[in-house]
Structure 1
């Protein structure tokens, strides 16, 4: 637990104190956020606010990961062997950094062109697909652990744990890995758009994954001493690594939120949104909680579906269901203040997280009763 707390604290402090430096740098580079002319009129006042802020909390997370491992040097030698940098860290941090890189390219093009166009939708999807493919292959085909030959990803679908009846094989699992990463990264990206909305919701989801992974670590099938007790355990790979990275990312986002909340001094941009989504998708795969992510990230699902519904309705009937999509902009045009929307959407995100954690823990209680 010490390592997770150290990582979260370091990430928070680095992000909190380095974000103002990032603001000055991006202002000097004239990396201001272009605003869509068709968006809510209130957004025009945000024109020129520095973007690409995701760079700060991605770097903070990587630094915190190293600090968290430094805190592990006080563990007994036999435990240190279990928590050295692993393939799990390679996959999760790789998704965070390289999905963020796709977003960075999009942000860079927006700033350079001085409009909100950026990378085309197809270009972003191709970039996400390539990143998902590379790390999906690594997760399923390479670096199996010494314990039961477990890979980072799984060949079985999962809800709270692997579902034995839903074995799909490695090739299909890589495809599912790519789909989960793309869905999560686009979900967070669509949720971004109001000051602090995506950041605050991501903090809750990442914090939940830190709790889930640490619980799995404390009840881990790879811990011989725990297994000897005959108690219920989780078949996952490197749960402490997962908890450390999720905790670090959550801490980094909290530090960033200090400057990103209304009125935002900086935006995360697609750099941060795609990076966070990629990491969250990877966490779902690594913890064997693929379908639980639909509840845990309920706000992202709702907002994504609002866009899907709007597109389908307009293309089939010529009518719009919402005043504007994503959903948060519908409520802006309905007269809700930005702060009210953000706080109420955070409540929705919190409810989804609470339900998901309740389901996760109730399954454990049922299995141990």
Structure 2
């Protein structure tokens, strides 16, 4: 498999034309090629044989190889596995057992976004796609496990450098990649104890260009409200529905009561973030976001092949059976003999002590 890299002009997010582009020169590429870069006319401008390019697309692991260590939250486990070299890896396993149409789309987009992101010191690294063992269906993904905890822990002293890292990361995501995280909050900001750097995670609400973009969830507002919450421990404003809140609610407060240990004065934090907000909220910011030079792209969510099997929906007044295709319940799928992955497991996991 070869990764195609180009701009959103050639590779619009809502269209899947990578195969057509690749077919022009696929027969001339060495088997060692892992990625190609094309210009806006679809012409080849560069190739890469870096195995990491391939890994970003194809690294997978079977669900049976994951060992559950703990449950970090709804749909997130702390797990471990041994990699191809026999080295024990500790990861966060994220999955979505709720078969709602919107949740499935969000899971598809998050996996594709994370595996497409370039490595960044302030983003929790993507690890592998998790497949169930019978039909190799995608059921989730893993990321590097960072044990430092999130900034939601009010006992963690807030460092000014972390806010600089956050604003720089937001600028990179928004203005370089055309990605809007849309869920920036203290609970999604980890501190890596090995590097003392801030790391952002949880991209399931992210927008790519106009796709899934929502009012009131922009990253500038999210970062500003997060800073207020981090300094004051006041969660009132972040609990307000995003369509009803704005930065003015917080910017207009003359004094922010400091209820957390800081490495700089409150005024230092506020002055810095106010200057950043003024820059980002200037005219043309949305246009810069929508026309980001390295906007990411990925294919649309495919229709599961199971949905093509007709299921009985009811009967007409004349007694004729009415059938339909598409989404069906787990019970119906089982009755039709279709394979269903079972999420059921013990309510309280066994506490595992890792050796070595």
State the TM-score, normalizing by the size of structure 2: 0.26
Structure with higher RCO (Cα < 8 A, 6+ apart): 1
More strand by share: 2
Structure exhibiting the larger radius of gyration computed from Cα positions: 2
More helix by share: 1
